[in-house]
Amino acid sequence: MAVKHRVVRSALGLAALALPAAGGIAQQAAPIPIVKQGAFEAGGTMLRDGDKTLSCDHGYVEYQIPAHARQVSLFLWHSSSARVWQNRWDGGEGYQSIFLRRGYPVYLWDGPRVGRGNWGCASYTYTPSVGQDQQNFIAWRLGAKYPEWFPGVQFPINDKEAWDQATRARYDEFDTVENAELEAEAAAKAIDRIGPTVAVTNSAGGLRALLASLRSDNIKAIVAYEDPGFIFPSDVESPEQPGGRFGPVIVSPEAFQKLTRIPIQFVFGDNIDKSPSWSAHVETCRKFVALLNARGGKAELLFLPSVGLKGNTHIPFADLNNVAVADQLSVFLHRNRLDLRGGSGRKAASTEAPSFR
């Protein structure tokens, strides 16, 4: 007797039909058919005191699997908040919904000690940092000075609710190499449970995904939006002094060689030349890519202005033109044969045009 799977209409899709966006514009997209959704914890350790224990330092995964899913999943990883993947700043659809519509299983990751994975094994003190909102404005390249927006920036600058949402979409971060290693260890275990996966990252999530790829063969590619942190082998001089918030992390030449087995794309937005810090990060990224490729790697840089996308910020997948940014990711996945549908009898998607549906 054939078993029929009941297709669940995603709450994401239903909400999109009924609720206004942050700026008051109703969403008109159709419901998203979801066949499975849920969550699980991954990684971590256990503290013991006699017969007493504390399970801690694990990460948290929220997932949704669409009908007729593709074979490779997307693991969306920000070093801060998972919120940035769920919507544009004006309330429009984010990468979570966009790529569910395109047939990819989507996993949202909160690493150990942040967000929904905050049950840590170590104590820490949170100190409020007044002025962080204004620092974010500059660091995210919304403008060179708060509140002076860059011309043509892909942020809803006249939407006060959007700015309020952006300033609140943060967790307390632990930007240290030690924490990056901790997150990478837990994420690798999550991805080994998921299976073949592309890590799609933002900011310092990129360094963490590079470290995780040294631990898991199920990471089939990395697409890193605006990564400030890199790995270098011990047999070359690092372009930056190790020990900073974002590394670089120094590994053995043998470990570094593991990075050559997967395609890696680093994506940067607009106005890089107006930010000394991001100009420096990009220069380090160029050196990393050149070194990796010289050793047989498959790394590349994509500057969104080079493909006609202007005004993108540090978080381009939440910008107003995020569908066009997503199209570039679909092209990368297609080019690297990471967009195949399930089932051995299907024609390889890489022999066709990339599918945006």
Could you report the per-residue pLDDT of 181-228, keeping only the tens digit for each?
Answer: 999 999 999 999 999 999 999 999 999 999 999 999 999 999 999 999
> Does some domain include residue 157?
yes
Name 286's Cβ contacts closer than 8 Å, sequence gap at least 6: 301
- The residue that leads in pLDDT, 13 or 352, is 352
Proportion of the chain above pLDDT 90, given as a percent: 83
Give strand pairing partners of 225. 202, 267
pTM of whole model > 0.85? yes
Least confident range from 167-176, 253-262, 348-357: namely 348-357
- Residue 38: how many CB atoms within 10 A of its CB? 9
Q: What is the pLDDT of residues 17-40, one digit of tens each?
A: 333 344 333 345 799 999 999 999
Mean pLDDT along residues 114-126? 93
Proportion of the chain above pLDDT 70, given as a percent: 88
Domain holding 146, by residue range, is 70-91+132-342
Q: What is the pLDDT of residues 285-343, one digit of tens each?
A: 999 999 999 999 999 999 999 999 999 999 999 999 999 999 999 999 999 999 999 75
Query: How far is residue 357's CA from residue 346's CA, in Å, rounded to a whole number?
Result: 16
> Does some domain include residue 227?
yes
pLDDT at res. 174:
87
Mean pLDDT along residues 130-135? 96
> Does some domain include residue 238?
yes
Q: How many domains does the chain have?
A: 1
pLDDT at res. 261:
98
> Does some domain include residue 294?
yes
Task: List the CATH number of the domain containing 167.
Answer: 3.40.50.1820
Mean pLDDT along residues 94-108? 98
Strands (E) across 156-297 are located at 197-202, 219-225, 231-233, 249-251, 263-268
> Does some domain include residue 168?
yes
> Does some domain include residue 315?
yes
